[in-house]
Each structure stands twice: as C-alpha cells, then as structure tokens.
Structure 1
C-alpha cells in the first residue's frame, strides 16, 4: 500500500494522510472478512496482498467503466446509472 514514507509536510496534512491510509487498510480488511464470511473460510487464512490486488483490480474496473459511460454518453455532463 506504499505506506513506507509520508509525502506531506505539515502536521495537519500528515495526520490526514495517515488517516486516509488507515481507512484504505481497513477497507481491504473489511473486504477480506466479507469474503471469508461469504465463502465460509477462515479469515486468518486469507492473504492481505491477494485481497489488496483484488481491490485494486476492482477499482481499475470501476474507473474504466465510468470513463466508458462518459465517452459513450456523448455529453460529459450527462450521468446515467450503471446497471
């Protein structure tokens, strides 16, 4: 998750950056727990790295999908639901 170094310089922004990184970490852990419950697996046996890769792939899919909707709509201001 590239949490080795902080890029912010002010104390307030460092706190925000740490907070955002903790939110991201907790999102991945929540996805792991949800997956373990859904597929009746032990959550301690799941790989954090594998879960992070799955979340990254899903985020990339959502980005591609949203760009495709904007391009296909013919109007950048037009929004429509993804179904």
Structure 2
C-alpha cells in the first residue's frame, strides 16, 4: 500500500492491531509504501477513510502454495548438507 501520509496511517493501523512495516523508498508521488499484515484490505481502506488519510495504492497479496508450504515446513529438516546421522 502507499500513502503520502504513511507514518500517520501506520500509527492508525498499528493501533487497530495490524503489523506494519515500511517498504522501500517513497515512489508514488512522494507516497510512503507500507506492508500491512493482520487486517483485511477493506478494513484498511475504511480506517484510512475514517481518519481522512489518502491512499495512492492498496493491493492484496496472498502467499503462493509454495511459500505457504516452505513456511510450514521451515523447521522440518530431514537432510543437512555435510552432516551424517
């Protein structure tokens, strides 16, 4: 997501229970980019409207099946390079 008032939006979203992290340099007309987890896009949009914070971009990203599998199995290692059992 991107907003010219990214810091204000980050504070509002954090207070609403979201995890918010800045992402990369400002790009869209001076807008700061944020990665938000823990709130659906419609709730983010409603909060931005409620607090009169403009949004330049709001996109939803879901993990691919491969990303979800890798995250779930990250701790499960059957073979380690260079190690014997």
Work out whether the TM-score is over 0.5.
Answer: no
Where relative contact order (Cα < 8 A, 6+ residues apart) is larger, the structure is 2
More strand by share: 2
TM-score range, shorter chain: under 0.3
Provide the TM-score with structure 2 as the length reference.
0.25
